[in-house]
């Protein structure tokens, strides 16, 4: 476990505005956050709360309209292609839809070889590369021998998502951003994927940022929870603080609307 309180990603007044004039939409509105190394953070919000826009800004896929992001306490610089490539060595993502996350023309071993190349292993002997790929596949309980000659669409959704984790295992980024990684997968495979992510975290000590609408999932996995509503962060704190004793009405409503099994689910409040 790396020492606590080491800021790895910090945002100050992060804002994203789409359109202008009458069509102006403030998707993310002056958001401040401070993510520490080795933490698991969840950003929870309903559809349209701006959580995916925030994720895209963190990844450097869109530029913020206003505000700054600090990576390792230094202002993030992704002005050139090379700098972006360097930044992406430190931050990687798993997206919601595994079916559209792969290049459909590349076989699966090419996907994994690409990761080895990104880590500077392009000149390794073939045997060594295969060994690395095998290790990554066995980490997520996939059989490398069965995968090599397959295309991504020949796998099931859960397997694809696990292959994504195998990629992350090879890349070993400092930060992993998981944007709804389990929302298209049924409850049973969800447990497998969460298990593997947690195992990856213990092995590499990476920071994981979960973006999710599932407040139950957020409570289960994370150390810190941020609740987003209409582009603003309305409540944040440790998982126990936010979920077990929420202060904001929005958080209370979200919690109230999730089906429970031990407490009575109050249906009268809709």
Interface residues with another protein (CB under 8 A)?
46-47, 141, 156-159, 186-192, 194-195, 213-220, 239-240, 243-244, 253-255, 257-263, 265, 267, 270
- Shortest distance (Å) from residue 46 CB to another protein: 5
- Shortest distance (Å) from residue 212 CB to another protein: 11
- Shortest distance (Å) from residue 235 CB to another protein: 14
Whose Cβ is closer to another protein: residue 113's or residue 142's? 142
Whose Cβ is closer to another protein: residue 1's or residue 270's? 270
Whose Cβ is closer to another protein: residue 127's or residue 270's? 270
- Shortest distance (Å) from residue 69 CB to another protein: 28
d(CA 48, CA 251): 16
Q: Are 54 and 28 in contact (CB under 8 A)?
A: yes
Q: Using H for helix, E for strand and C for coil, what is the string for the chain? A: CCCCCCEEEEEEEEEEEECCHHHCEEEEEEEEEEEECCCEEEEECCCCCCHHHHHHHHHCCCCCCEEEEEECCEECCCCCHHHHHHHHHHEEEECCCHHHCCCCCCCHHHHHHHHHHHCCCCCCCHHHHHHHHHHHHHHCCCCHHHHCCCCHHHCCHHHHHHHHHHHHHHHCCCEEEEECCCCCCCHHHHHHHHHHHHHHHHHHCCEEEEEECCHHHHHHHCCEEEEEECCEEEEEEEHHHHHHCCCCHHHHHHHHCCCCCCCCCCCCCC
- Shortest distance (Å) from residue 157 CB to another protein: 8
Whose Cβ is closer to another protein: residue 80's or residue 269's? 269
- Shortest distance (Å) from residue 133 CB to another protein: 21
d(CA 252, CA 66): 30
Whose Cβ is closer to another protein: residue 114's or residue 257's? 257
Whose Cβ is closer to another protein: residue 136's or residue 215's? 215
Whose Cβ is closer to another protein: residue 89's or residue 253's? 253
- Shortest distance (Å) from residue 160 CB to another protein: 12
d(CA 154, CA 139): 20
Please provide residue 225's backbone torsions phi and psi, each rounded to the nearest 5 degrees: -125, 135
């Amino acid at each position: 476990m790396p020492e606590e309180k080491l800021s790895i990603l910090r945002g100050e007044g992060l804002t994203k505005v789409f359109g202008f004039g009458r069509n102006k939409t403030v998707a993310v509105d002056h958001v401040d956050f401070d993510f520490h190394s080795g933490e698991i953070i969840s950003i929870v919000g309903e559809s349209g709360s701006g959580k995916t826009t925030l994720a895209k800004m963190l990844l450097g896929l869109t530029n913020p309209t206003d505000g700054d992001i600090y990576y390792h306490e230094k202002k993030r610089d992704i002005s050139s292609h090379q700098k972006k490539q360097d930044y992406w060595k430190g931050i990687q993502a798993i997206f919601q839809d595994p079916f559209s996350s792969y290049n459909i023309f590349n076989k699966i071993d090419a996907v994994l070889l690409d990761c080895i190349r990104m880590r500077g292993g392009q000149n390794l002997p073939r045997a060594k590369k295969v060994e690395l790929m095998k290790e990554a596949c066995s980490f997520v309980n996939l059989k490398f021998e069965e995968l090599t000659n397959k295309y991504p669409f020949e796998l099931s959704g859960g397997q694809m998502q696990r292959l994504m984790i195998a990629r992350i295992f090879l890349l070993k980024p400092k930060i992993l951003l998981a944007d709804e990684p389990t929302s298209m997968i049924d409850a049973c495979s969800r447990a497998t994927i969460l298990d593997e992510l947690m195992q990856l975290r213990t092995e590499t000590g990476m920071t994981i940022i979960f973006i999710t609408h599932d407040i139950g999932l957020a409570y289960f996995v994370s150390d810190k929870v941020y609740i987003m509503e209409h582009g603003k962060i309305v409540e944040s704190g440790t998982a126990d603080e936010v979920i077990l004793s929420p202060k904001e009405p929005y958080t209370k409503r979200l919690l109230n609307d999730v089906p429970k099994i031990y407490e009575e689910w109050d249906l009268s409040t809709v």
